[in-house]
């Protein structure tokens, strides 16, 4: 059997299955999580523990009429939900789940994933603009300003990690952190200088906040602030158009959690250096996703100008400082021990 | 001076005739009480002179004793006398008998009995309900029965003046509403004012307009809160508020041309 | 065909907030003229749930109108019950037995708490926090159960009668209420204040936003927590005492800041004060009848009277005009949120959309009450 043909197909199936399962079952997780945070049960009627709920929702969404309202830009209106979904799935190609499970080891995988994430934001802009709805329009402009504001500190943090590793390949970045939590980039006491180790938790925090904002999650869900903008860019969407937007949102969360895990939490590494493998990777991303859900159901929403202020006035200066310090620590070896 | 008395006199500015007669009546009442008190004081002084013991005074009763204590003040200065008399008069509710509506002057005796103000308060006493057609003017109402203290009835044109006086006095507008008196071919507009700072005082300002030509000047420039209330009264009763910036139906559909609260409204 | 969004020459556009919108809690419509996300002009458009309750009053007898009152402010229905009943009692000169007055006080304060709890949940929901709503509903559910036990209904109570109440309260209600007081007192600091009041995002969104000062309240006739949040210590229960409130010891929460946070804090403190009132009223509850002798057909003497009570949202006034027949000649209902909302246009000017919605939430609107 010629592996060169079958391998991509296998990976394609694998990625699609992983993405599809996540997109469907994160909705269930979110509702269950929200239920428990709110002292209620959550979905329980469809199947055991409501496990078939996503299936029922999917069937319901798919059987509904795909309504294109009057006065919208027909092509862009239809393109936007697809555009929300595709980049998130494509990003999975470059993510190393373990040394063996990776579709393609790309040298510039970090760049690829961020380029695709920006396309995801384009879906919000296009969807909001094409809907010809004032709420959607406001949502689209909010999403763009938020995206610009939060991509800068996020990328600066990534550059910091890339500088420490010396590679833009996610596999290399994860591989460098193997051998126990003391090697992880979140607090690299073993691998780097002490000074570097001290600033890395701040870098992790900035990256994490930015990934919440990038994925449009509460308390930074400005684009779909339901009490202000009804459903933001998704106001005019129904049936699977809406469903694709929702799935895209959940997949973005998965990609965000994967990136955080690889860049800061050692990828597939076990905290104590035992049995590294894909299970550790999955455990880490689901803990991160649970944190996303937990935060969402705990905090009220912030305000758009406060959100932008936080980025431009706090996160960007801090991240620039961290970048500068990292550069100094790398250049001046043995700086402060 | 109590807020109700203050408000009453402020509102009496609108009715110079009533104010003059009331001031006159109050002056007359003061004079009367002053004369009585003087007489009592003199009698007491006489009694003192006749009988130097303390027991004589107690026998004269509490009221006389209270006035007896003020004997020196009463006999010394006229100004001080007046103040003291005011207080005594308010306590006894006597002043009220003549501060009521001028129309009831003949019934002063019965009014004095009708007065129901508390012994400690400086509030003006309750006026009697006028019989028949009510003339323009200020009435003091029984709060326990009517829920308001001062009831003003004025010509439509004076509504804005009343609002101005009450605005300066720090009143807030609670509601504007209408009443359709179909038998009398009239419509009444009622403005309810109250205070939110300190002592309680509720004022109702009423005016009546003919049903055929219901027009009242707006007070929405004085009280912006009146804007909606007037719109509501307009759509329900068809009363036009002259000078209102936006007199379109508020609760009814914007193109509604019916007035449901009219008594002859047929849905 | 694509129709672009219409803009005025000065690049403002009109945004219709409602009548179907998650933040208006009902069918309120606000016509917003927007410059980007800034509000240039806000104009509330009312009447989407207008039912002409005032005309209905003229068509039936005094007693027949009773079930209408809870359908206006369905969240503090008993305040409306009380306001109307007191107006008729004043017109007809009916004395209410003391026990009935105490029962009225207990139930109306329970209802006030339930109204404030629902407001709390809905307000935080306006700010994007979903979870507190369910905690508040959990507690509110206890009140609804208690009130259902004595009144027979869960939301639109018609419990008071002219000269008393419909039903005497029993021991089950009294012990249940005492347990509820204990429960809410233990939950208030942790589930409400720690989780929500102290939340930095909430504080930043409410502090120094939406100033409503005492003079603005006076000009627009705003009352209730809005007025108390502007630093005016005014409460009908204290300033114009009715029922048995003079015999009970309670404070009037008052915050001078005048921003959304002040209005929030006033309501949260009022919950605690209402608990105090209920506790004292339960302790002092006298024995005796709960219903005075009242003629079957009421025919108050001709004349008019005005009665006010402190509803959960402010001053609720009833102007009752009688003409000596068995029907009210005219009944004017002065609803508090009607006046409270009328100042929204002035407050919202120049504000960001999200802030304006937070201010609207802090006014605690109940649309059926505004539209009547």
Query: Where does a domain end: B75, B90, B110?
Result: B110
Give the pLDDT mean for C82-105: 89
Same domain? B62 vs B166: no
Q: C341, C313, C294: which is closest to C91 by C-alpha?
A: C294
- CA distance linking residue C283 with residue B242, whole number of Å: 55
CB contact under 8 A, C343 and B225: yes
Q: Do C37 and A73 touch (CB under 8 A)?
A: no
Tally of domains in chain A: 1
Q: What pLDDT score was predicted for residue B115?
A: 42
First to last CA, chain C: 42
- What letters, b where the CB count within 10 A reaches 16 and e where it falls short, cover B197-235? eeeebbbbbbbbbebeebebbbbbebbbbbbbbbbbbbb
% of chain B exceeding 90 in pLDDT:
0
Under a CB-based contact definition with an 8 Å cutoff, are residues C314 and C346 in contact?
no
Question: Measured between beta carbons, which residues in chain C are less than 8 angstroms from residue B179?
Answer: 304, 321, 329-330
Residue B98 has what pLDDT?
40
Kindly write down the DSSP assignment for every residue of B90-145, as one continuous string.
HHHTHHHHHHS-GGGGGGHHHHHHH----SS--PPPPPPPPSSSPPSEEEE--HHH
Confidence of residue C115 (pLDDT cuts 50, 70, 90): very high
The pLDDT of residue B13 is 76
CB–CB of C104/C243 below 8 Å? Answer: yes
Flag whether B touches A (3+ CB pairs, 8 A cutoff): no
Q: How confident is the model at residue B92 (pLDDT cuts 50, 70, 90)?
A: very low
DSSP-derived 3-state class of residue C311 = strand
pLDDT the model gives residue A317? 92
**Closest Cα in chain B, distance from residue C240 (Å):** 7
Bridge pairing between strands C13-17 and B203-210 = unpaired
Give the β-pairing of B215-217 and B240-242.
Answer: parallel
Nearest to C66 by CA among C331, C347, C340, C349: C331
- Has residue A169 been placed in a domain? yes
Determine, for residues A38 and C357 on separate chains, whether the beta-carbon distance falls below 8 Å.
no
Q: Is residue B195 part of a domain?
A: yes
CB B228 within 8 A of CB B222: no
The one-character DSSP state at A56 is H
* Residue at A149 is within a domain: yes
* Tokens encoding C243: 């029922």
B183 — contact with chain C (CB < 8 Å)? no
Contact at CB, B146 and C319, closer than 8 angstroms: no
Mean local confidence (pLDDT), C311-319: 89
C143 touches chain B (CB under 8 A): no
Q: How far apart are CA C72 and CA C316, in angstroms?
A: 11
The DSSP letter of residue C95 is: P
Residues B84 and B187 placed together within one structural domain of the fold: no
Other Cβ atoms within 10 Å of B121 Cβ, number: 14
Of residues C9 and C334, more confidently modeled: C334
Q: Which of B7, B4, B21, B11 minimizes the C-alpha distance to B104?
A: B21
The answer to whether A130 and C1 are in contact (CB under 8 A) is: no
| Residue B103 falls inside a structural domain | yes
pTM of the shown model? 0.83
Q: Which comes out higher in pLDDT, residue B124 or C33? A: C33
- Does A21 fall in a domain? yes
State the complex-level ipTM: 0.85
Chain A residues with CB-CB distance to C126 below 8 A: 227
Domain final position from B94, B110, B126 = B110
Query: Nearest CA to CA, how far is A137 from chain C (Å)?
Result: 9
Judge whether A300 lies within some domain.
yes
Residue of B nearest to C346 (CA): B224
Proportion of chain B above pLDDT 70, given as a percent: 70
Q: Are B35 and B154 in contact (CB under 8 A)?
A: no
Domain stops at, among B48, B83, B110: B110
Query: Which of A70, A213, A228, A304 is most worth mutating to test chain C (most C CB atoms within 10 A of its CB)?
Result: A228
Q: Which residues, other chains included, contact A122 with Cβ-Cβ below 8 Å and sequence gap of 6+?
A: A83
Q: Which of B202, B225, B252 sits opposite C221 (nearest CB)?
A: B225
Checking C332-335 for CB contacts under 8 A at 24+ apart, the result is C332/B175, C332/B177, C332/B190, C332/C54, C333/C53, C333/C54, C333/C72, C333/C372, C334/B174, C334/B175, C334/B192, C334/C308, C335/C72, C335/C73, C335/C369, C335/C370, C335/C372
pLDDT of residue C17: 85
A216 contact residues in C (CB cutoff 8 A): none
Residue A97 placed within a domain: yes
- Spatial distance between the Cα atoms of C23 and C357, rounded to a whole number of angstroms: 7
Query: Between chains, do C353 and A228 touch, taking CB under 8 Å as contact?
Result: yes
More confident residue, C10 or B190: B190
Q: What is the pLDDT of residues C286-302, one digit of tens each?
A: 888 888 888 888 888 88
Nearest CB to B225 within list C90, C220, C227: C220
Cis ω for the linkage preceding A219 (within 30 of 0): yes
Is residue B263 domain-resident? yes
Chain C, window 94-133: residues with a beta carbon less than 8 angstroms from a chain A beta carbon: 124-131
pLDDT digits (tens, 9 = 90+) for C160-203: 888 888 888 888 899 999 999 999 999 888 888 888 888 888 88
Residues in chain C: 372
CB B178 within 8 A of CB B261: yes
Determine, yes or no, domain membership for B175.
yes
Q: Is B194 helix (H, G, I), strand (E, B) or coil?
A: strand
| Chain A CB contacts of C129 below 8 Å | 298-301
- For residue C297, what pLDDT is reported? 82
The encoded tokens of residue B211 equal: 């049903």
Cβ proximity of C96 and C89 under 8 Å: yes
C200 touches chain A (CB under 8 A): no
pLDDT in tens, C206-242: 888 888 888 888 888 888 899 888 888 888 888 888 8
Per-residue pLDDT of chain A (337 residues; tens, 9 = 90+): 456 788 778 888 888 888 888 888 888 888 888 888 888 888 888 888 888 888 898 898 889 888 888 888 888 888 888 888 888 888 888 888 887 777 777 888 888 888 888 888 888 888 888 888 888 888 888 888 888 888 899 999 998 888 888 888 888 888 888 877 777 877 777 666 777 777 888 888 999 999 888 888 878 887 777 777 888 888 888 888 888 888 888 888 888 898 898 888 888 887 776 777 788 888 888 999 999 888 888 888 888 888 888 889 999 999 999 888 888 887 776 555 4
**Cβ pair A97, A281 in contact under 8 A:** yes
Q: Is the pLDDT of residue B88 over 60?
A: no
Chain C CB contacts of A303 under 8 Å are 204-205, 352, 354-355
Delineate the domains of chain C, giving CATH numbers in brackets. Answer: 53-371 (1.10.645.10)
Q: Which domain holds residue A275?
A: 3-331
> With bands split at pLDDT 50, 70 and 90, how would you rate the model's confidence at B122?
low
Query: Nearest CB to B197: which of C232, C305, C338?
Result: C232
- How many angstroms separate the CA of residue C121 from the nearest CA in chain A? 12
- Name the burial class of residue A65, with classes exposed (0-12), middle (13-18) and buried (19+) by CB atoms within 10 angstroms of its CB: exposed
Whether A337 maps to a domain, the answer reads no
Task: Tokens for C145, please give them.
Answer: 């159960």
The verdict on C43 touching B (C-beta cutoff 8 Å) is no
Interface of A with C (CB under 8 A): 34, 37-40, 71-73, 132, 134-135, 137-138, 218-219, 221, 225-228, 230, 297-306
Whether residue A304 and residue C135 make contact (CB cut-off 8 A), yes or no, is no
Comparing C-alpha atoms, which of C372, C349, C344 is closest to residue C359? C344
Look at residue B28 and tell me if it is in a domain: yes
H/E run at residue B242: strand B240-242
pLDDT tier, B121 (very low <50, low <70, confident <90, very high otherwise)? low
Q: Is B20 among the domain residues?
A: yes
Number of domains in chain B: 2
Check if the beta carbon of residue A321 is closer than 8 Å to that of residue A156.
no
**pLDDT number for residue B103:** 41
- Sort out which chain A residues have CB atoms less than 8 A from C352's CB and list them: 303-305
Q: How many angstroms separate the CA atoms of C169 and C150, rounded?
A: 6
- Gap between the Cα atoms of C90 and A196, Å rounded: 79
Residue B166 belongs to domain with CATH number: 3.30.460.80
Q: Does a structural domain hold residue B139?
A: no
C186: tokens are 């233990």
Cβ of C54 within 8 Å of Cβ of B225? The answer is: no
In degrees and rounded to multiples of 5, residue C197 shows phi and psi of -60, -40
pLDDT beyond 70 at B108: no
Packing angle, helices B16-50 and B78-92, rounded to 10: 100
Does residue B122 sit within a domain? no
Which of C1, C37, C131 lies closest to A37 in CB terms?
A: C131
According to DSSP, residue C94 is labeled P
Contact B175 C50 (CB under 8 A): no
B-chain residue closest to C90, CA distance: B145
pLDDT at B110 over 60: no
Do residues A156 and A320 make contact, with C-beta atoms less than 8 angstroms apart? yes
Would you call C221 and B180 a contact, using CB atoms and an 8 Å cutoff? no
- Phi-psi label, residue B2: left if phi above 0, alpha if psi -120 to 50, beta otherwise: beta
pLDDT given for residue B65 in this prediction: 47
Give C-chain residues touching A39 at CB under 8 angstroms: 134-135, 138
Mind spelling out the 3-state secondary structure of A100-130?
CCCCCCCCCHHHHHHHHHHHHHHHHHHHHHH
- Intra-chain end-to-end CA distance of chain A, in Å: 55
Contact in structure between A281 and A98 (CB atoms under 8 Å): yes
Neighbours of chain B (3+ CB pairs under 8 A): C
Chain C contacts of A40, Cβ < 8 Å?
134
Cβ pair B174:C317 closer than 8 A: yes
* Within-domain flag for A336: no
* DSSP per-residue letters across C221-279: T--THHHHTTT----HHHHS--TTGGGS-------SS-SHHHHHHHHHHHHHHHHHHHH
Using CB atoms, pick whichever of B204, B225, B261 lies closest to residue C306.
B204
Interface residue B132 vs chain C (CB under 8 A): no
Handedness of CA C295, C296, C298, C299 (dihedral sign): negative
Residue numbers of the domain that contains B199: 155-267
Q: Beta partners for A109?
A: none
Are A211 and A260 in contact by the 8 Å Cβ rule? The answer is: yes
| Mutation for A interface: C17, C130, C140, C203, most A CBs within 10 A | C130
């Amino acid at each position: 059997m010629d592996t060169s043909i079958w391998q991509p197909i296998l990976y394609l199936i694998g990625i699609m299955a992983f993405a599809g399962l996540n997109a469907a079952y994160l909705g269930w997780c979110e509702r269950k999580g929200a239920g428990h945070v709110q002292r209620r049960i959550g979905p329980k009627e469809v199947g055991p523990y409501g496990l078939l709920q996503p299936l029922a929702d999917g069937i319901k969404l798919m059987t509904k009429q795909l309504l294109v309202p009057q006065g919208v830009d027909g092509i862009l209106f239809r393109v936007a939900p697809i555009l929300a979904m595709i980049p998130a799935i494509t990003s999975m190609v470059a993510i190393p789940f373990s040394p063996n499970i990776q579709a393609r080891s790309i040298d510039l995988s970090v760049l690829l994933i961020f380029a695709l994430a920006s396309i995801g934001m384009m879906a919000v802009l296009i969807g909001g603009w094409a809907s010809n709805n004032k709420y959607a329009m406001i949502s689209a402009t909010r999403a763009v300003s938020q995206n610009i504001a939060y991509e800068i500190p996020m990328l600066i943090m990534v550059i910091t990690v890339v500088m420490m590793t010396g590679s833009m390949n996610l596999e290399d970045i994860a591989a460098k952190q193997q051998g126990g939590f003391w090697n992880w980039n979140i607090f690299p006491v073993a691998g780097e200088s002490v000074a570097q180790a001290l600033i890395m938790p701040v870098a992790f925090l900035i990256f994490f906040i930015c990934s919440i904002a990038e994925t449009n999650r509460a308390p930074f869900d400005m684009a779909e602030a339901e009490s202000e903008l009804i459903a933001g860019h998704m106001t005019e969407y129904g049936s699977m158009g809406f469903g694709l937007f929702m799935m895209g949102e959940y997949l973005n969360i998965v990609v965000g959690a994967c990136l955080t895990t690889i860049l800061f939490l050692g990828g597939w590494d076990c905290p104590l250096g035992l049995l590294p493998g894909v299970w550790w990777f999955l455990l880490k991303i689901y803990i991160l996703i649970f944190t996303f859900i937990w935060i969402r159901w705990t905090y009220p929403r912030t305000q758009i100008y406060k959100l932008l202020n936080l980025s431009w006035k706090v996160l960007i200066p801090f991240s620039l400082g961290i970048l500068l310090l990292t550069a100094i620590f790398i250049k001046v070896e043995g700086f402060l021990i | 001076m109590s807020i109700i008395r203050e408000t009453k006199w402020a509102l009496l500015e609108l009715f110079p005739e009533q104010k003059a007669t009331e001031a006159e009546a109050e002056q007359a009442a003061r004079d009367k009480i002053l004369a009585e008190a003087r007489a009592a004081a003199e009698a007491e002084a006489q009694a003192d002179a006749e009988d130097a013991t303390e027991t004589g005074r107690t026998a004269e009763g509490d009221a006389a004793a209270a006035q007896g204590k003020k004997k020196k003040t009463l006999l010394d200065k006229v100004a001080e006398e007046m103040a003291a008399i005011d207080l005594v008069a308010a306590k006894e509710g006597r002043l009220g008998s003549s501060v009521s509506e001028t129309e009831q002057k003949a019934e002063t005796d019965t009014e004095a009995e009708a007065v129901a103000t508390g012994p400690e308060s400086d509030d003006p006493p309750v006026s009697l309900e006028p019989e028949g057609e009510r003339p323009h003017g200020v009435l003091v109402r029984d709060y326990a029965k009517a829920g308001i203290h001062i009831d003003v009835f004025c010509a439509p044109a004076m509504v804005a003046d009343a609002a101005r006086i009450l605005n300066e006095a720090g009143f807030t507008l609670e509601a504007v509403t209408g009443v359709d008196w179909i038998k009398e071919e009239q419509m009444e507009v009622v403005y309810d004012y109250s205070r939110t700072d300190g002592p309680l005082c509720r004022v109702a300002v009423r005016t009546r307009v003919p049903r055929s030509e219901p027009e009242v000047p707006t007070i929405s420039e004085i009280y912006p809160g009146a804007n909606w209330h007037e719109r509501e009264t307009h759509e329900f009763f068809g009363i036009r508020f002259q000078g209102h910036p936006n007199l379109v139906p508020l609760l009814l559909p914007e193109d509604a041309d019916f007035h449901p609260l009219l008594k002859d409204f047929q849905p | 065909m694509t129709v672009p969004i219409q803009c005025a020459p000065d690049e403002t556009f009109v945004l219709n907030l409602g009548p179907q919108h998650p933040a208006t809690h009902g069918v309120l419509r606000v016509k917003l003229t927007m410059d980007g996300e800034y509000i240039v002009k806000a104009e509330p458009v009312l009447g989407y749930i207008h039912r002409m309750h005032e005309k209905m009053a003229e068509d039936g007898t005094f007693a027949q109108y009773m079930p209408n009152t809870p359908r206006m402010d369905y969240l503090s229905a008993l305040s409306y019950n009380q306001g109307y009943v007191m107006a008729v009692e004043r017109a007809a000169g009916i004395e209410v037995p003391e026990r009935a007055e105490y029962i009225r006080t207990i139930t109306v304060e329970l209802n006030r708490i339930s109204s404030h709890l629902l407001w709390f949940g809905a307000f935080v929901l306006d700010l994007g926090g979903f979870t507190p709503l369910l905690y508040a509903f959990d507690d509110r559910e206890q009140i609804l159960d208690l009130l259902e036990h004595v009144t027979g209904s869960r939301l639109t109570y018609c419990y008071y009668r002219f000269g008393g109440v419909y039903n005497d309260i029993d021991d089950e209600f009294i012990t249940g209420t005492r347990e509820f007081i204990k429960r809410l007192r233990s939950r208030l600091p942790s589930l409400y204040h720690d989780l929500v009041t102290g939340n930095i995002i909430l504080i930043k969104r409410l502090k120094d936003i939406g100033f409503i000062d005492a003079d603005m309240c006076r000009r627009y006739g705003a009352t209730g927590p809005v007025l108390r949040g502007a630093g005016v210590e005014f409460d009908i229960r204290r300033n114009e005492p009715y029922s048995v409130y003079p015999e009970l010891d309670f404070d009037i929460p008052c915050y001078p800041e005048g921003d959304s946070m002040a209005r929030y804090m006033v309501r949260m403190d009022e919950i605690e004060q209402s608990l105090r009132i209920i506790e004292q009223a339960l302790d002092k509850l006298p024995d005796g009848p709960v219903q005075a002798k009242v003629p079957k057909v009421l025919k108050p003497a001709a004349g008019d009277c005005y009665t006010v009570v402190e509803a959960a949202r402010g001053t609720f006034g009833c102007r009752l005009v009688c003409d000596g027949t068995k029907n009210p000649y005219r009944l004017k209902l002065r609803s508090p949120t009607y006046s409270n909302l009328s100042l929204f246009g002035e407050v919202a000017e120049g504000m960001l959309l999200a802030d304006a919605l937070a201010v609207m939430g802090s006014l605690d609107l109940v649309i059926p009450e505004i539209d009547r």
